[in-house]
Chain A
């Protein structure tokens, strides 16, 4: 494996709430190789968005990074001074936020917003930045880019705004794009377009992507490798084909079994009982044990660590280590 582009080690992030500190990311480590698409998958409250925002230190005010490292080009982003951090943000690592309405300025034309992002890093003239903005808008599939550059965000549809956000993120030619739920708010036919666009931009630029999503369908479409998060930790990590062929962790399996599928009608879904745990009060031992159908009394006491489980794979479950989980039969 080539040297990783980004290497996150033992990341710990807390949110301060009225009830005290909640450790939303609790010892997360992963690598992303140049050009690789790593999907961080989890439900709400799993810590996936907090982990991704910690990398560029873009946490909301209540968030605090408690420890860990994020190495980029041999330097720890989490320990950088503000000037050095500014050089990384946008130019090396760009972030595409979930909600385009929050991320785009409503009173500036979208072309200017893309041009501004290009100028902030490239040190180019206004005219050159303007031309580049039109090129970027065209490259993300916006029809009539010269005219659309003059439009304001409210004049564009959700899918178009998502494309503008992508153009802003691509403006400085980053080597890593952090994309937080890039298609979640979109209609089905538009989601398919944006997935195809991300795939083609990645192929063209060789940019790596950290994809944050709750949707295993989007993972199947885009990811090379997958890390599954539950309650602030990575519980399983695998190349995408292996994960879909043979999920190991009981939580990953339960996730696969709980999705209704378009060509499999009517059967009862295997819902996961109970609820996603509150980060302020994680269960003892394995955090999934209260909802796990393979749990034994020991799971309440032993806190499983992510250990190697086959080539390029890791899994955090003592029952998998014991060989107590039966082979996976794909439900299709």
Chain B
């Protein structure tokens, strides 16, 4: 790679103090996202995926580690340079309007960011808002003067996306953007995100617990378990030949797509351990069907198991799969 990545995380750590103990939400995570690329973070509760997303946008300060946007150290910026950064990075939430005043009109919600970063003239701001609404498939004439409670769930998520797009960001963190939507509406939003990605070339960090949704959008996938990456690689490679036993278990736990396949996959036993007291060694060893003695003691280093595809596991990489 000659061009530096758009986004880079280097050894990010986030610990939250909890009385006398410490919740290790993120515990040493590194990755890069290239221009126009989508990296999906997939994991169950306690995996640290949302905390990571928030750190990358500097909505949270890390306990240790660094992150870079176009080579600039995100956590070292202040003043005008931090403001500039904020304009290029934005977020789409699970329920974008849930946290906003129900008394705001769609126009106010979408134009909020423009007050800081947009044109001075109100009419110019309105033109940008109208354009953003059109890009997400909403008719400005019908929706500009509506309140959130007058919109359906799908329309609200479109407004949330318009709000993110209006500043023309280069990088968007999507945190579970479709998980509260009905399937028929979820498909509309996934198609919209795929179209925007194709046509406008944004980079995304896409956070989801749903492997099927991730498969649909991701160029690359990082599987998180208890604050660490278990496996990362091109989506096609991770889904077709998962190496880490946790990735395999996650893929096997997706419910059958036809009743003839029911109950076929062996399911993973045990509970997800608490991030307050994560297991020693490999964090997955307490649930891993292949755990060996050393897994309890040593932390496995990353192993190249395919092109651009790494797994943090002591199991041998598949033969003949490793490129020279």
Contacts and interface: CB of A to CB of B under 8 A. Distances in A.
B262 A220 contact: yes
B265 interface: yes
B265 A160 contact: no
Q: Which of B44, B212, B254, B257 has the most CB of A within 10 A?
A: B257
Interface in A159-184: 159-160
B255 A189 contact: no
A221 B267 CA distance: 13
B185 to A, nearest CB: 7
B184 A255 contact: yes
Contacts of B211: 188, 262
A269 B190 contact: yes
B250 interface: yes
Contact of A269 (B187, B263, B269): B187
Interface in B194-242: 194, 209-213, 215-216, 235-236, 239
A259 B268 contact: no
B3 interface: no
Contacts of A325: none
Contact of B254 (A44, A188, A264): A188
Q: Could you tell me the dominant secondary structure of chain B's interface residues? A: helix
Nearest to A332: B257
A80 interface: no
B94 interface: no
Given A259-B183, A271-B191, A220 B268 contact: no
Interface string A239-266: 0110010000000001100111111111
Given A268-B191, A269-B187, A220 B212 contact: no
A124 interface: no
Contact of B190 (A195, A214, A218, A260): A260
A217 B256 contact: yes
A125 interface: no
Nearest to A266: B216
Q: Which of A188, A218, A240, A269 has the most CB of B within 10 A?
A: A188
Contact of B258 (A192, A220, A265): A220
B28 interface: no
Contacts of A191: 253, 255
Contact of B216 (A187, A220, A269, A275): A269
Given A188-B250, A190-B271, A192-B252, 9 more contacts: A159-B271, A189-B267, A199-B263, A214-B183, A261-B257, A262-B211, A262-B215, A269-B187, A271-B185
Interface of A: 43-44, 157-160, 187-193, 195-196, 199, 214-215, 217-223, 240-241, 244, 254-255, 258-266, 268-273, 275-276, 291, 332
